[in-house]
Copies of this chain bind each other. A is one copy, B any other.
Amino acid sequence: MNIYQGRKILITGGLGFIGSNLARELVTLGAEVTLVDNLWPDYGGNPFNIQGLENRLTVNISDVRDSHAMEYLLKGKDFLFNLAGQTSHVDSMNQPHVDLEINTIAQLSILEACRGVNPDITVVFASTRQLYGKPDYLPVDETHPVRPVDVNGINKLAGEWYHILYNNVYQIKATVLRLTNTYGPGMRVKDARQTFLGTWIKSLIDGQPIKVYGTGNQLRDFNYVDDCVAALLLAGSSDVARGKVYNLGSEEVTSLKDLAHIMVEMDQGGSVAFVPFPPERKAIDIGDYYGDFGLIRKELGWEPSVSLRQGLERTLQYFRQNRSHYWS
């Protein structure tokens, strides 16, 4: 059953990486989609991400910090996919108040607006595995202590908890997904503000060596964006998901070194350079991380369907074809 057909959807961060991929899928499902994005150059929004969709959805350039605009945009919507966020850990340390405005203050305003003008809306919030900090055990499940290691982690956590609180106290239907490293067409690749993997893709296509910090033995899990979009759609459509926090993740756990080698091999060229950790990244590095996504598998039936190799192939192909729209 397609519960999204004909429904009114708002996506914050809608011109960004995950937002635009979600929008594409929702338009295909027959939803009436509005995207909010501030197109701030340091963030993920890129109008090219919705190429070909321009006439099938509405784009509203504004900022989630603009509580008046958000209240207007939230009126009458059936679903909010709340994906806007400041994602750079380093930026959050250098400009902690900006991160706080976007990831915390704006989230509270959005939820207050839902309570005020649209209490029947269903909200899905994109959170991050970053807030577990350095894991006590692996794989990390949702009962693992949260222990943010940077300003971004603290602020995202507060933003996340407001969602669960407003679900529990005010019955604003809300679900949180804690995303792991997500990659795919439309991701930010011009720098590491979304994920280091973006810069690797750019380096590979540019014929530059992929830079691995430290030994590259750190383990990580990755989700191809289509799998992430599937999880968002399931979360929005499932009553059992209300008030819940779910990890995403993958059973394909890979070291950064191996990931770099896979990419180099795939490209039939390229190279890997091992370089020392920059101090500002070392200070907030968390070592190995991979998540236990058993809860969302059990309760919503989600699991990733795109292998790392498949996903990387599609991603590299996309950026080779569309390079000029993502970096110069």
Contact = CB atoms under 8 A, between A and B. Distances in A.
Interface of A: 93, 96-97, 100, 104-105, 108-109, 112, 143, 145-146, 148-151, 154-155, 157-158, 161-162, 165, 168-169, 283-284
Contacts of A146: 146
Nearest to A145: B145
Contact of A154 (B93, B96, B149, B165): B165
A178 to B, nearest CB: 15
Contacts of A100: 104-105, 108
A109 B284 CA distance: 21
Contact of A148 (B104, B143, B150, B161): B161
Contact of A97 (B96, B108, B284): B108
Given A96-B112, A157-B158, A165 B145 contact: no
Main secondary structure of the interface of A (DSSP, over half): helix
B143 A145 contact: yes
Nearest to A169: B283
A109 B95 CA distance: 11
22 contacts: A96-B108, A96-B112, A97-B109, A97-B112, A100-B108, A104-B104, A104-B158, A105-B105, A143-B145, A145-B145, A148-B161, A148-B165, A149-B165, A149-B168, A150-B165, A154-B161, A154-B162, A154-B165, A155-B158, A157-B157, A157-B161, A169-B284
A285 to B, nearest CB: 12
B97 A105 contact: yes
A169 B162 CA distance: 26
Given A104-B104, A105-B105, A151 B162 contact: yes
A284 B97 CA distance: 29
Contacts of A143: 145
Going nearest first, the 3 A-B pairs with the smallest beta carbon separation are A158-B158, A154-B161, A154-B158
Nearest to A162: B154
A104 B93 CA distance: 16
Contacts of A161: 148, 154, 157
Most buried by B among A93, A97, A161, A284: A161
A104 B107 CA distance: 14
Contacts of A109: 97
Contacts of A145: 143, 145
Given A151-B162, A154-B158, A157-B157, 6 more contacts: A97-B108, A108-B151, A145-B145, A146-B146, A148-B165, A169-B283
Contacts of A149: 165, 168
A161 B100 CA distance: 13
A93 B154 CA distance: 20
